[in-house]
């Protein structure tokens, strides 16, 4: 039975973990790093690059490099919102036919779920390379404050990547699982999760293996990308004031500025000041221009002061919803790379009045928790019970366009809630239940999930019929809505599964396309490995040919030279079949050279070595030496000489 992996699909970086012999293990990628950039790029001949290799070429290929796609997943295209959410990116964001925000590269549009699928597939391949087996099941994490559309988009991305998602769980909840596994006793903890794109805060009670999420809150527009953008804007404005040049029109310069801003932010986590040097950032009539600026920690903190202040309100609300005070918390867990920032840590102390827990890795703990949850679902880890909550209220539209919650936010799932409604008009023979999700007072300001219609009501004055509406929410976030006329007993049930904006046919098309890419990727990898093997054989054969070529007969020399020529052509062609044939022919031809070398050695006069031991062939009646075992050779020769 294959392993269940845990994947933290991050805005900036992603991480994958697995349970091995009862312990969680973070799996490094083939470059040795335990996290992988959530970056996708399209190179020459539409070659797809994912991870660090995509990030490295971003400066020279910014228009075809897609980062921070998670900020767009499951979102509608609202111009102002998009510009707020994703800034300083080289690619274009467009409105798809379904009204969602998509990414355009080379006149081709990609759903953010497709881009996320490419990252998930990369994490899947990292796990498969380590485990040595195919991986098909995973637990994938999402920000706690993701709505149903964003969660469904993440599920669709996993499906496109070839993964069966056993559970979508909240990132803070996963972090708490990693922290609390094996701990005894009762604790109340707050998980403060500030990542690259989102901010979440969850309050939990951990009691001997029972993880009870009491409340969750957050801000899906607040993360490390916003901090980077503030520093980048400061760099751009300073440069313009100094040189009169607006760098925002130069895609290559903007990519370099973004990288410089991120590097400066990281350095200021441990240093009090840093120098930002970007030589040859642009050129003008007077010659090349260089960006050289000094940024202090206090300056940076001033640039992001309002972002830091936005961290407080969700924390206060989460504590109120959990009916707790900060003094009642036993631990504060810091999750996400942005929590390394000194000012963020100071803000945590200001809000909660205590120092945060230092014993967890903020970059890896979410993936570890997801892996633990996977093992819990498979029955491999015992004694762990996870009681999560729904992050947003679920309800329906009532007369006047009002939103009436039935399942309120922070309700433990699974759950079942009912309310009684009535008709708005006389002799109404049908009611239409409009199901929504959100926290706004008016229905139009919340997210529509679907409709349930109940027909065949008997004629009656308005306000007389009693329509019982029941919401049933399971652990996977799938909602069933039941509408029943209590007078006649007529009932209607519908399963409300929020969509990511992708029709099932679109998802299946993307699954097929991803499989085609997987096949071409495997073929490209096989061709590259074969070409490297042939290239290595070419190098060693040529070196031997230069040294021992005169030992070959004219016929063997001609055969070997022809094999070398054909191998050169095969390497240049990139054709896997030609490369394989050329490798086989060259390997056979080079054996002729080896035979000539050793044949000449056997015929050459033998000389004693400097230790006095003869290197002559073994005497008659003695078997030839099968291996070069020097110690044994010396003993044998000494015995013979004696």
**Catalytic site residues?**
8, 70, 171, 193
Say what angle helices 504-548 and 576-603 make with each other, to 10 degrees.
Answer: 20
Q: Is 339 exposed, middle or buried (CB count within 10 Å of its CB: 0-12, 13-18, 19+)?
A: buried
CB count within 10 Å of CB 580 equals 16
Helix and strand element counts for the chain (H, E): 16, 27
CA distance 27 to 367: 10
- DSSP labels, 205-238: EEETTEEEEEEEEEETT-SHHHHHHHHHHHHHHH
Cβ contact 174:373 at 8 Å: yes
Residues whose CB is less than 8 angstroms from the CB of residue 414 and which lie 6 or more positions away in sequence, other chains included = 472, 473, 474, 475
**What does the block give as tokens for 582?**
């050329």
Residues whose CB is less than 8 angstroms from the CB of residue 559 and which lie 6 or more positions away in sequence, other chains included = 589, 592
Cα–Cα distances (Å) from 277 to 55, 239, 283, 296, in that order, read 19, 12, 16, 14
**What does the block give as tokens for 228?**
């980077």
Cα–Cα distances (Å) from 528 to 2, 55, 523, 577, in that order, read 28, 21, 9, 12
| Closest to 204 in 3D by CA, of 176, 231, 243 | 176
Cβ contact 120:15 at 8 Å: no
Q: Are strands 164-170 and 137-142 parallel, antiparallel or unpaired?
A: parallel
**Does an H or E element contain 633, and which?**
helix 630-641
Which alpha helices (DSSP H) does 93-202 contain, by range? 112-131, 148-160, 171-180
Which alpha helices (DSSP H) does 268-390 contain, by range? 297-303, 305-309, 312-321, 342-352, 365-377
Coil, strand, or helix at residue 629?
coil
**Does an H or E element contain 531, and which?**
helix 504-548
């Amino acid at each position: 039975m294959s392993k269940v992996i845990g994947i933290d699909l991050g805005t900036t970086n992603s991480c994958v973990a697995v349970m091995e012999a009862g312990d969680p293990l973070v799996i490094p990628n083939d470059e040795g790093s335990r996290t992988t950039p959530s970056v996708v790029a399209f190179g020459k001949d539409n070659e797809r690059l994912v991870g660090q290799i995509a990030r490295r070429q971003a400066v020279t290929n910014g228009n075809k490099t897609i980062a921070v796609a998670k900020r767009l997943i499951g979102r509608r295209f609202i111009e102002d919102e998009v510009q707020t959410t994703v800034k300083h990116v080289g690619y274009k964001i467009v409105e798809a036919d379904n009204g969602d925000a998509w990414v355009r590269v080379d006149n081709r549009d990609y759903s953010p779920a497709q881009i996320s699928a490419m990252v998930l597939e990369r994490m899947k391949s990292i796990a498969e390379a380590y485990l040595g087996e195919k991986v098909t099941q995973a637990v994938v994490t999402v920000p706690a404050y993701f709505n149903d559309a964003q969660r469904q988009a993440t599920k669709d991305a996993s499906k496109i990547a070839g993964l069966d998602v056993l559970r979508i769980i909240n990132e803070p909840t996963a972090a708490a699982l990693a922290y609390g596994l094996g701990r005894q006793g009762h604790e109340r903890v707050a998980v403060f999760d500030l990542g690259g794109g989102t901010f979440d805060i969850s309050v939990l009670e951990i009691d001997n293996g029972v993880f009870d999420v009491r409340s969750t809150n957050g801000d899906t527009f607040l993360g490390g990308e916003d901090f980077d953008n503030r520093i980048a804007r400061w760099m751009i404005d300073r440069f313009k004031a100094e040189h009169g040049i607006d760098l925002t029109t130069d895609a290559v310069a903007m990519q370099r500025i973004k990288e410089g801003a991120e590097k400066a932010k990281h350095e200021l986590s441990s240093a009090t000041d840093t120098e930002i040097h970007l030589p040859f950032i642009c050129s003008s009539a007077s010659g090349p221009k260089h960006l050289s600026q000094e940024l202090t920690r206090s300056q940076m903190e001033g640039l992001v002061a309002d972002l830091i202040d936005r961290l407080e309100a969700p924390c206060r609300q989460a504590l109120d919803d959990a009916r707790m005070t900060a003094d009642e918390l036993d631990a504060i867990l810091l999750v996400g790379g942005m929590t390394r920032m000194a000012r963020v840590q100071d803000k945590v102390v200001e809000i909660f009045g205590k120092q945060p827990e230092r014993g967890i890795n903020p970059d890896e703990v979410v993936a570890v928790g997801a892996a633990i949850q996977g093992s819990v679902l498979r029955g491999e880890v015992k004694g762990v019970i996870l009681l999560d909550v729904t992050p947003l209220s679920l309800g329906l539209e009532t007369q006047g366009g009002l939103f009436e919650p039935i399942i309120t936010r922070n309700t433990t799932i699974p759950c079942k809630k009912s309310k009684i409604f009535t008709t708005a008009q006389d002799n109404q023979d049908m009611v239409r239940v409009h199901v929504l999700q959100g926290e706004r007072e008016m229905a139009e300001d919340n997210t529509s999930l679907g409709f349930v219609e109940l027909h065949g009501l008997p004629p009656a004055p308005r306000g007389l019929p009693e329509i019982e509406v029941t919401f049933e929410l399971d652990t996977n976030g799938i909602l069933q809505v039941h509408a029943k006329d209590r007078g006649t007993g007529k009932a209607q049930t519908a399963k409300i599964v929020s969509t990511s904006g992708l029709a099932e046919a679109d998802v299946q098309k993307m699954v097929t396309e991803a499989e085609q890419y997987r096949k071409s990727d495997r073929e490209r990898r096989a061709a590259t490995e074969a070409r490297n093997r042939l290239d290595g054989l070419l190098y060693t054969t040529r070196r031997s040919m230069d040294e021992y070529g005169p030992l070959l007969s004219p016929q063997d020399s001609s055969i070997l030279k022809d094999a070398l020529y054909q191998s050169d052509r095969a390497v240049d062609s990139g054709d896997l079949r030609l490369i394989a044939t050329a490798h086989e022919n060259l390997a056979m031809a080079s054996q002729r050279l080896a035979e000539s070398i050793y044949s000449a050695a056997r015929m050459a006069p033998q000389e004693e070595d400097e230790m006095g031991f003869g290197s002559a062939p073994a005497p008659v009646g003695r078997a030839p030496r099968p291996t070069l075992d020097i110690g044994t050779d010396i003993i044998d020769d000494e015995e013979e000489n004696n």
